[in-house]
Amino acid sequence: TGGSSRPFRVVLLGARGVGKTAIASIFAGAADNEVCEQTVTVDGEKATVTLVDNWDSEDEGGSSQDQCIQTGDAYLLVYSITDRSSFLKASELRISLRQHRPAHHTPIILVGNKCDLVRRREVSVNEGRVCAAVFDCKFIETSAAMQHNVWPAFHGIVQQLRLRRDTK
Ligand code: GDP
């Protein structure tokens, strides 16, 4: 079941330096590719996920950003808990997503990365949670450096994709 369906396309979005590449390389198993496909087992069922990490934060409003935003089945919206401006950027990106994908109930997880850097924290767990509630998406804090909660984030997005597929 599900094995023959096309891969889920999951796109990493977020400001420069928040840890998208670090998260992608955990998914890829160290390889540092902009696009990587893996089969993952979630709730006992296999799913193929294509992870896209080619967000160009310099291309403000440009066509490569548009393409990124339009082609995902689901999004990991990443900020760094040590960088408030990246948290604000995540909110802006959430709004762009809503504008580009108004008709879809697109699965999105707000990901607060670098949670290992406790003494440099600028965004509280509660702020992350509240923001996710306002933006109607899930929330998780991760540490790519400590390999903490990164796989649960991927599993969570697959679960959401399946829920959406099953209610279609
Ligand atoms: P990107 O620009 O979003 O792709 O960010 P990178 O993955 O290149 O990460 C930027 C910097 O943050 C690098 O020096 C990473 O080693 C570091 N980094 C990424 N994730 C974490 C994390 O969870 N904890 C810590 N302490 N550093 C991290």
Query: For the chain, what is the total number of helices (H) and then of strands (E)?
Result: 5, 6
- The per-residue pLDDT for 103 is 66
User: Whole-prediction pTM value?
Assistant: 0.93
Read off the pLDDT of residues 12-53 as tens digits, 9 standing for 90 and up. 999 999 999 999 999 999 666 788 999 999 999 999 999 999
Residue 11 CA to residue 49 CA, distance in Å, equals: 10
Ranges of beta strands (E only) in 83-162 are 108-113, 138-141
Which amino acids bring their CB within 6 angstroms of ligand 1? 14, 16-22, 113-114, 116-117, 143-145
Ligand 1: centre distance to CA 87 (Å): 15
Q: What are the residue ranges in the chain where pLDDT is below 50?
A: 1-3
Ligand 1: centre distance to CA 17 (Å): 6
Per-chain mean pLDDT for the chain: 91
Q: Which atom of ligand 1 is nearest to the CA of 142?
A: 23
ipTM of the complex: 0.99
Closest Cα to residue 14, out of 144, 134, 103? 144
